[in-house]
Amino acid sequence: MVNVLVYKAQLSGQEFYFYVLLEFQSRVDFQMPHRLLTYMTEIWRDVQSNTPQSEKRRKTHKLPAVVPIVLYNGNATWTAVRSFREMLEGEQHFGAELLNFRYVLLDVKRLDKKQLEQMENLIGLIFLVEQNPGAVPFTNRLRKSSQILKKLDPELFQLFKSWFKMTNPKETEKIGHVLDKFEDPKGVDTMISNLTKALRDEYYEMRRQGLAAGQAKGKEEGRVEGETAARMDIARNLLKEGMSIEQTARLAGLNISEVEQLTEK
């Protein structure tokens, strides 16, 4: 899952925009540098298509910087190459003329928990939840971090909701409508309360369905077991009356091997 964020910065008296390309990843992807390059190219293509021709002809016209970040929450160690150049065959025989960039890797499960708690921002919150996934730990962490969410701008708040849906695919259908009702971070307390209720209801519904399925299975197994026992009794009586194995099997509704086992007993 990829998200694109746009930021405005002012450094050394210069104001400019730059993009953050955030890729959520749960498995090691050895094609990651190429994938990121594809995303970056699409960003620049979109910028160029929305820039007037007169501005593009200027010598001062520049493309925005794009910072690629991979947010990885998998259990295995990340072993994919970190730079695009490392994906190119024979790259060691070339100089600086080759296209190259390096992405930032945030290996969530290997970050220090205390440092994440001290960050007190959305990224720290996401990382903490990723270290202990699951709907219940998630809502518990949200309640403790509601002040962080209230301070988010609308764009980051939308990113947060997208991330939640991605990390909780089993509950998405049940709670997606809860998230979609809240566009303003100011309603975080109500949103957390509604999410908690929705997840609790989902848990009890799954438990009810599990119990019902278990009971139905027990009844079916009992019915089949009873029918089998009755067939066996019929077969025993037929054998006592001198019926052949083949005739007994046909009349009792059993297979020949089952009847043969009765004769051995």
**Is 50 inside any structural domain?**
yes
Give the per-residue pLDDT at 222: 58
Residues 102-120: b if buried by 16+ CB within 10 A, e if exposed: ebeebebeebeeeebeeee
Say if 233 falls within a structural domain: no
Choose the weakest-confidence range: 5-9, 12-16, 115-119: 115-119
pLDDT value at position 112?
Answer: 72
CA pair distance 221, 93, nearest whole angstrom: 69
Selected residue with higher pLDDT from 234 and 98:
98
Residue 236 lies in a domain: no
Does the reported pTM lie above 0.95? no
Residue 251 resides in a domain: no
Distance CA 230, CA 153 (A): 71
Amino acid type, 258: E
pLDDT of residue 195: 73
Whole-Å CA distances, 190 to 169, 179, 186, 255: 22, 11, 9, 63
Q: What percent of the chain has pLDDT over 90?
A: 29
Q: What is the pLDDT of residue 62?
A: 93
pLDDT confidence of residue 30: 96
d(C-alpha 112, C-alpha 56), whole Å: 45
224 assigned to some structural domain: no
Edge-to-edge strand ranges of the sheet holding 104-107: 2-11, 14-25, 65-72, 104-107
What's the pLDDT score for residue 215?
Answer: 58
Tokens of 198: 């929705």
Q: Give the Cα separation of 175 and 197 in Å (integer).
A: 10
Please enumerate in sequence order all residues whose Cβ is within 8 A of that of 147, keeping only pairs 6 or more positions apart, or say none: none
CA 64 to chain centre: 30
Question: Tokens at residue 108, please?
Answer: 């969530």
Residue 43 lies in a domain: yes
CB-based contact 66:31 (threshold 8 Å)? no
Q: Which residue has the tokens 């695919």?
A: 169
Residue 125 lies in a domain: yes
Domain that holds residue 56: 2-172
Phi, psi angles (nearest 5°) of residue 28: -70, 125
* Over residues 109-131, mean pLDDT: 67
Could you give the number of structural domains in the chain?
A: 1
Quick: pLDDT tens for 65-113: 999 999 888 889 999 999 999 999 999 999 999 999 999 998 877 777 7
Residue 161 domain flag = yes
Output the pLDDT for position 10.
83
Does 73 or 115 have the greater pLDDT score? Answer: 73
